[in-house]
Amino acid sequence: MLSKIASRSLGAAVRTSSTTSTTRFLSSTPTLFTATEPNSSVSGRESALFTPGPLTTSIGVKQAMQVDLGSRDSKFIDVIQSVRDELLGMARTSQADGHECVLMQGSGTFCVESVISSVIPASGKLLVLSNGAYGERIGQMCKIHKIDHEVISYGERGAPNAADAAAAVLADPSITHVACIHHETTSGALNPAQAIGAAIKEVSERSEQQPKRAAKRSEAKRSKAS
Ligand SMILES: Cc1ncc(COP(=O)(O)O)c(C=O)c1O
């Protein structure tokens, strides 16, 4: 996660290097920022970046990146472990609950593709709720990796919602996974990921219970008859 932010910031440095600016990133690098308004979230001199993607990093992150740590240094291993544990905690789960968090280093697209191409089993089907370029990109990834999928496209001004997701999962029992971009940064749309997740959990638990209930009913009939 931290590597992604760092590489995106350097990418921005290259893109804006030909314009006038007041602030420099490192003395040897090209000019970074173009606006002159101060930004309190960073050093008080730098400006926030408003290009797609979460690009602006705080002064704390920038300062932390001034220190080199070896990848097998116990300090580095401890920091990575705490990031992994805290991300599991944010998802309200843990290693003890059978979940693991794996940090990926790469562009945003690389990280999304690493999940899409490894999480859906060969027999699975992915429902993609899309309202922008990154949602559409997940559909493309499915095509490339030959993953069975369905895309509900809302267009850039639309928004995925929990009711649609639940109805689609109920209508097609072959759907095993659902993907939705939380923050579609190409348009700035923040999608209701929590409500969508809760609705899918509810319908999938309900449909899982149905065969169990049916099995219980026929078992009860059999024991009554004997
Ligand atoms: C969900 C998502 N996908 C893809 C990207 C694109 O990232 P990149 O240009 O680093 O591949 C971003 C950028 O923020 C993103 O938020």
Query: What does each of the 226 residues of the chain score in pLDDT, given as a tens digit?
Result: 222 222 332 222 222 222 223 222 222 333 333 333 444 444 556 677 776 666 788 889 889 889 899 999 999 999 999 999 999 999 899 999 999 999 998 989 999 999 999 999 999 999 999 999 999 999 999 999 999 999 999 999 999 999 999 999 999 999 999 999 999 988 889 999 999 999 999 998 888 777 665 565 556 556 555 5
Give the Cα separation of 104 and 3 in Å (integer). 9
* Structure-token pair, residue 122: 């060969």
Residues 125, 139, single domain; the answer is yes
Kindly state whether residues 2 and 101 are assigned to the same domain: no
Strand ranges inside the chain, DSSP E: 125-130, 148-153, 177-180, 183-184, 189-190
Q: What predicted TM-score, i.e. pTM, was given to this entire model?
A: 0.69
Instruction: Report the alpha-carbon distance of residue 61 to residue 67 in Å, rounded.
Output: 11
Say how far apart CA 146 and CA 19 lie, in whole Å: 43
**Do residues 112 and 134 make contact, with C-beta atoms less than 8 angstroms apart?**
yes
Q: Which of 100, 92, 115 is nearest to 177 (CA)?
A: 115
Do 40 and 11 sit in the same domain of this protein?
A: yes
User: Domain tally for the chain?
Assistant: 3
Percent of residues in the chain assigned helix, strand, coil, to nearest 5: 45, 10, 45
Site to probe by mutation for ligand 1, drawn from 134, 140, 191 as the one with most ligand atoms within 8 Å of Cβ, is: 134
| Same domain assignment for residues 136 and 153 | yes
| Span from the CA of 182 to the centroid of ligand 1 (angstroms) | 11
Residue of 185, 186, 190, 191 best suited for mutating to test ligand 1, as the one with most atoms within 8 Å of CB: 185
* Residue 185 and residue 96 in one domain: no
144 and 216 fall within a common domain: yes
Alpha-carbon distance of 14 to 157, in angstroms, equals 31
Ligand 1 atom closest to the Cα of residue 108 is 7
Claim to verify: residue 99 and residue 169 sit in the same structural domain: no
- Beta carbon of 108 within 6 Å of any ligand 1 atom: yes
141 and 205 in a common domain: yes
Q: Is the CB of 186 under 6 A from ligand 1?
A: no
Domain end among 14, 47, 67? 67
Give dist(CA 84, CA 198) in Å, integer.
23
Q: Are residues 99 and 12 in the same domain?
A: no
| Residue nearest to ligand 1 atom 15, measured at CA | 108
CATH number where 167 lies:
3.40.640.10
10: containing domain: 1-67
Domain identity same for 132 and 204: yes
Q: Give the CA distances from residue 190 to residues 130, 184, 186, 202, in Å, rounded to whole numbers and listed in that order.
A: 12, 6, 11, 22
Whether 138 lines ligand 1, by a CB cut-off of 6 Å, is: no
Domain end marker among 39, 67, 95: 67
Phi, psi of 141 (to 5 degrees): -60, -40
Same domain, 12 and 88: no
80 plus 61 within the same structural domain: no
Number of neighbouring beta carbons within 10 Å of residue 49: 20
